[in-house]
Amino acid sequence: MINLNLATIKSMISYLYIIIFFVSIVHTYLYTPNECPREDSLQYCLDVYIRGPTYYRKDFAYENDLLLERNSRVIHFPVAFVHPLDVFDVQSAIICGKNFNFTVIARSGGHSDESYSIGDRDCTLVVDLRYMNNIIIDANTQTAKIGPGVTLNTLFYSLSVHDFAFPSGECSTTGVGIILGGGLGYLMRKFGTSSDNLLDAQIVLANGTIVDHVKEYHELYWALRGAGNAGYGIVTSLTLKIYPIQKIVTSMVFTYDFDQTQLVFSVVNELGNSFHPNLTIQINHENVDKFEILGFYLGSSNDAKPHVQKLIELTNPKNESYVEGDWYNRLIVNDVGRRNIYKCKAFYIDSSGLSYEGVEYLMGFMKNFANNFLVRTMLVTGKVNEIGRNETAFVHRGLLYMLFLEITLDEVNYETRLKDLEIFSQAFQENYTSYEGYQNHLDKDLYNWQCRYYAENFGKLVEIKQKYDPNNLFNWNQSIPTNSEISCYSIK
């Protein structure tokens, strides 16, 4: 038995203090961000010219800003977070950044899967747009003018009050980055992607010029619809096409056993192109024990049922449920989980669908993968495919699915899980999917991302970048470069 007298306890406590002291030194050493050259000059410039709050590394509020990044897998230490109150603050931030040689990065909702809204290294200057969050709805012209700090939740809610809708994703906290890089969701088969519905924008360019109507600059307007979040400037206002919407819509859930996966894919491969435009579905696997088709129909459940009858007959779900309501309440998903550690991959599947072998391979991954995962297979088609591949920078047309795979990570076996995902993804991509990937679900490990995200539009995007940001002020791993040897014309 150990005899603990007062002296022993005292000496144990002092040892503990010594250990804590050394651990904190090591921690500080490891986590102190790099010094940034010309930081003082930049700070002076920002303090003089910016009206909104700016947080530097020494400020308590700086850490809150860091934690707004949704994915905690990636961390870098920006030199500062600027919070502009208006377009002139954005302009000043860009000019200060440019004058003192800092890379400038825009942040709206902070949902970049690789945290590119704090850049890809320390010492970037982040322009966080959350306070520029006006929404003006014009029912006569069926347009909405929104600030870049608006999230999907506030946009959708404001529109629904006026019986209008806008096609986009459904996660409540996503910002306007989604609109600039595409934007897929339950309304896309009827109305197209979000970027298809970007009518105009105000943008501040690398040289500080404020362009009030990007529509008058044809090539820049072309680039913003699909690559607007890839380094052309900071978008400070977006004019959107909005649509009158049914007062009652129906969301549907059809549940299945995991081993019905093969059947479900073969049926949706067959029917997917011919569904009514008011109907959109997603095939969702949340680990192996939750397998569902989620459907969304613009109209009542009685109207919806004939349009899913064949799907039901052929796939034989265990349960069916239909819930009616207004589109905002049926569609928006409250992002309560917010920040977590994850990695995702996105694949486009050709118009013939995912083959038997492809489904088999995917099921094998799902059965064997040790951590939590989500596989969300979105049926694209409809209006999205009625627009030409080169009409805007968003090239992904004529495809059947965008398949999104997200894994949740923890400290245990972190590297092994990432490697498992990578091995699966490379083989899956090579053998069973189209060449293309989705630029709104970024993956810094994606080989030849230039051609996968932008395909034959990449060359033109580089030329436009060269013209509007020749010194590459807005740059990170997967932003559009100012020049490139890569040609994507032969692919596809």
Ligand X SMILES: Cc1cc2nc3c(=O)[nH]c(=O)nc-3n(C[C@H](O)[C@H](O)[C@H](O)COP(=O)(O)OP(=O)(O)OC[C@H]3O[C@@H](n4cnc5c(N)ncnc54)[C@H](O)[C@@H]3O)c2cc1C
- Min CB(71)–ligand X separation in Å: 7
- Min CB(281)–ligand X separation in Å: 14
- Min CB(262)–ligand X separation in Å: 26
Name the residue nearer to ligand X (CB basis): 234 or 279: 234
Residue 267 interacting with ligand X (CB under 6 A): no
Count of residues of this chain found to bind ligand X when the rule CB under 6 A is applied: 33
- For the segment 400-459, give every residue that binds ligand X (CB under 6 A): 440-441
Per-residue x/- marks for ligand X, 125-164, CB under 6 A? ----x------------------x----------------
Q: Contact at 8 Å (CB) between 335 and 173?
A: yes
- Cα gap 153→138, rounded to integer Å: 19
Binding segment (CB under 6 A) for ligand X, from list 102-110, 214-222, 254-262, 354-362: 102-110
Residue 206 interacting with ligand X (CB under 6 A): no
Residue 177 interacting with ligand X (CB under 6 A): yes
Tokens linked to 420:
């498992």
Residue 111 interacting with ligand X (CB under 6 A): yes
Residue 475 interacting with ligand X (CB under 6 A): no
Binding segment (CB under 6 A) for ligand X, from list 53-61, 112-120, 136-144, 361-369: 112-120
Name the residue nearer to ligand X (CB basis): 108 or 160: 108
- Min CB(157)–ligand X separation in Å: 17
Name the residue nearer to ligand X (CB basis): 98 or 305: 98
- Cα gap 455→489, rounded to integer Å: 7
- Cα 17 to Cα 6, 14, 100, distances in angstroms: 17, 5, 43
Name the residue nearer to ligand X (CB basis): 109 or 192: 109
In the list 84, 181, 295, 358, the residue contacting ligand X (rule: CB under 6 A) is 181
- Min CB(117)–ligand X separation in Å: 3
Name the residue nearer to ligand X (CB basis): 113 or 200: 113
In the list 78, 84, 97, 175, the residue contacting ligand X (rule: CB under 6 A) is 175
Residue type, 22: F
Residue 116 interacting with ligand X (CB under 6 A): yes
Residue 183 interacting with ligand X (CB under 6 A): yes
- Cα 312 to Cα 295, 306, 317, 324, 451, distances in angstroms: 12, 10, 7, 19, 38
Residue 192 interacting with ligand X (CB under 6 A): no
Residue 170 interacting with ligand X (CB under 6 A): yes
Binding segment (CB under 6 A) for ligand X, from list 8-16, 29-37, 178-186, 415-423: 178-186
Residue 397 interacting with ligand X (CB under 6 A): no
Residue 70 interacting with ligand X (CB under 6 A): yes
Residues interacting with ligand X, by CB under 6 A? 70, 105-113, 116-117, 129, 148, 169-171, 174-178, 180-185, 229, 234-235, 440-441
